[in-house]
Structure 1
């Protein structure tokens, strides 16, 4: 299954809302910073486990992160 090209954009939004650096966010989700960078750049797909940790750490809806929620039911990152 192909990853929604908007997933990296949503993850960037989550990182920005967290108010931390990309490196610090990678540390929080127990992910190598270079893997996070490649995933955000689109040269590597996020794994399901990584996306679950991102959603859990940022307290966002995993369905929103994956882009599977309906357009009328957005769930942006919580401050």
Structure 2
């Protein structure tokens, strides 16, 4: 939600489908809690991560982070 008003304030919101924080123009009032002053504050609050897989989506750990194999590990599923 962009909110209402005449301001054009750059803010950041968490986009759950992309698992990252993106910029948007906040209009100044009637926003919601998904509205951060900085990208850093958004990223420290929300589960942001970079997909380590070249193709497809990674397996997620119970805390919704991508599972990372240690260097030199082989994948049992190809």
Which bracket does the TM-score occupy, shorter chain normalised? under 0.3
Higher helix share: 1
Structure with larger Rg: 2
Q: TM-score, normalised by structure 2?
A: 0.26
Higher strand share: 2
Q: TM-score, normalised by structure 1?
A: 0.25
